[in-house]
């Protein structure tokens, strides 16, 4: 299993920069997730590694060997496409067996061995009963399994999965996600997996790379990405409901934060104040995750910010409601499926100041990750 490294890779399509000077190292046997909104360059990243796109600039190494000029067929990579791209004129069996029969594997397997291998993998993916069908006769989830089968049967050193769960319905998605955990433990192949769903990324990834407009925003283990987003782009895209972001200025004398949009102040503890003092600026973009805001229907010392309740919705065993302090809209997540809040009711809020994330107002970067 190789270590993959990219150095200063740039890929352009006409005038659009799909990948901008990317350098990243992916470890041997790692399950590496590329997270990002659509158009971030995720698919291009995979295609560059597979050799389907040639970068204008930069080098790609497998285990230290430069592979820029090696053809796709010889790279020992397997790739599943976002739209599956099964061969429409081949049966499921022939689709899955295709890599074994290719010229790259000439005469390596006889008919019996091919049948056995296809059998093994289709059983594992529970598509054994579909072997004689054509791709057009399969559901989306089944097509995805066939695509996975075609990629896994190669038993290549590198496995590239392009949004494998994006187009299957919710139930199948959960099922397949569990299966990916299984595959990951079973094969320990170096895997690069793209996704636009942060939950998927956090659940599966050894490490996550957040990509936006062809640029790396942050690379890190899932906990870091979630708790210490490098900048506001990462913060806004990781976590649901979306993080609350608002401008604040610090009053160092009475250790208070003032939010002009909501026209309110709230106290912050000594350690937070110290952090801000070290950073030295007085204006910040403050991020508060929806579950780091709590509420009460009566005012108290803790719950001292008056807000007007907007609409609310229930999600499984949690609820989300929207509240307004003057002109500031906030989203609040509560671990209570049974909120009895009326529309336009007064509620009293409190921020958990230890969990607030501070971003530099000019660069939008997390001040904790500055160095």
Partner 1 sequence: MKERKKIGKNIFVNLPISIVLILSFSFLLFPVYWIFTMALKTNLDIITYPPKFFFKPTIKGFQYILGLVKVISDVGVSAGVESWFLVGIKNSIIVVVSTILISLAVGLPAAYVLARYKFKGKEDIAFTILSFRFAPPLLVIIPLYLLFSKIGLYNSYISLIWVYQLISLPMIVWIVRGYMEEIPMEIEQAGMVDGYSRIWIFFRLILPLAKGGIAAATLLAFIYCWNNFIFGMILAAVYVQPVTVQAMRYLTPDAIMFREVAAICIGAALPLLILSIFLQRYLISGLSMGAIKR
- If one asks whether residue 72 binds partner 1 (CB under 8 A), the answer comes out as yes
Among positions 16, 66, 73, 275, the unique one binding partner 1 when judged by CB under 8 A:
73
- If one asks whether residue 98 binds partner 1 (CB under 8 A), the answer comes out as yes
Q: Which is nearer to partner 1, 86 or 332 (CB)?
A: 86
How far from each other are the two terminal CA atoms of the chain, in whole angstroms?
33
Contact present, 204 and 177 (Cβ < 8 Å): yes
Compute the least distance from the CB of residue 354 to partner 1, in Å.
48
The stretch near partner 1 (CB under 8 A) out of 84-92, 179-187, 246-254, 299-307 is: 84-92
- If one asks whether residue 107 binds partner 1 (CB under 8 A), the answer comes out as no
Q: How many CA atoms lie within 13 A of 156 on its CB side?
A: 27
Q: Which is nearer to partner 1, 60 or 79 (CB)?
A: 79
Residue numbers 201-220 binding partner 1 by CB under 8 A: none
Dihedral of CA atoms 148, 150, 151, 157 in degrees, nearest 10, equals 140
Contact partners, residue 309, CB within 8 Å, separation at least 6: 321, 322, 323, 341, 342, 343, 344, 345, 346, 347
Can you tell me whether residue 361 is helix, strand or coil? coil
Among positions 10, 85, 91, 251, the unique one binding partner 1 when judged by CB under 8 A:
85
Contact present, 359 and 370 (Cβ < 8 Å): no
- If one asks whether residue 48 binds partner 1 (CB under 8 A), the answer comes out as no
Tokens of 139: 């559901």
Neighbours of 208 (CB within 10 A): 29
Among positions 34, 60, 77, 334, the unique one binding partner 1 when judged by CB under 8 A:
77
Q: Which is nearer to partner 1, 85 or 364 (CB)?
A: 85
Q: Which is nearer to partner 1, 159 or 328 (CB)?
A: 159
Can you tell me whether residue 149 is helix, strand or coil? helix
- If one asks whether residue 103 binds partner 1 (CB under 8 A), the answer comes out as yes
Which residues would be at the binding site for partner 1 (CB under 8 A)?
47, 50-52, 71-73, 77-79, 81, 83, 85-89, 98-99, 102-105, 135-136, 150, 154
């Amino acid at each position: 299993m190789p270590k993959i490294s990219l150095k200063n890779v740039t890929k352009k399509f006409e005038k659009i920069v799909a990948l901008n000077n990317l350098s990243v190292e992916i470890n041997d046997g790692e399950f590496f997730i590329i997270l990002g909104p659509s158009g971030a360059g995720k698919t291009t990243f995979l295609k560059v590694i597979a050799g389907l796109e040639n970068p204008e600039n930069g080098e790609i190494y497998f285990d230290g060997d430069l592979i820029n000029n090696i053809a796709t067929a010889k790279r020992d990579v397997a790739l599943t496409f976002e739209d599956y791209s099964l061969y429409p004129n081949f049966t499921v069996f022939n689709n899955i067996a295709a890599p074994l029969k290719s010229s790259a594997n000439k005469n390596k397997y006889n008919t019996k061995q091919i049948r056995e291998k296809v059998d093994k993998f289709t059983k594992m993916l529970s598509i054994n009963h579909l072997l004689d069908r054509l791709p057009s006769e399969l559901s989306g989830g089944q097509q995805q399994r066939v695509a996975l089968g075609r990629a896994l049967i190669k038993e290549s050193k590198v496995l590239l999965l392009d949004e494998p769960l994006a187009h299957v319905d919710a139930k199948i998605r959960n099922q397949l996600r569990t299966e990916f955990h299984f595959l990951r433990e079973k094969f320990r192949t170096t895997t690069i997996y793209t996704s636009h769903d942060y939950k998927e990324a956090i659940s599966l990834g050894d490490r996550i790379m957040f990509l936006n407009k062809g640029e790396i925003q942050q690379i890190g283990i899932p906990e870091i990405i979630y708790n210490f987003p490098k900048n506001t782009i990462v913060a806004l895209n990781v976590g649901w409901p979306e993080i609350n972001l608002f401008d604040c200025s610090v009053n160092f004398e009475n250790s208070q934060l003032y939010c002009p949009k909501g026209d309110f102040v709230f106290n912050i503890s000594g350690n937070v104040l110290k952090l801000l003092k070290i950073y030295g600026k007085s204006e910040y973009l403050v991020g508060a995750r929806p579950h780091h805001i709590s509420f009460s229907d009566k005012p108290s010392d803790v719950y001292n910010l008056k807000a007007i309740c907007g609409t609310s919705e229930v999600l499984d065993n949690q609820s989300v409601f929207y509240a307004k302090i003057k002109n500031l809209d906030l989203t609040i997540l509560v671990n209570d499926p049974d909120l009895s809040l009326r529309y336009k009711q007064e509620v009293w809020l409190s921020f958990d100041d230890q969990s607030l994330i501070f971003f530099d107002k000019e660069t939008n970067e997390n001040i904790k990750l500055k160095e």
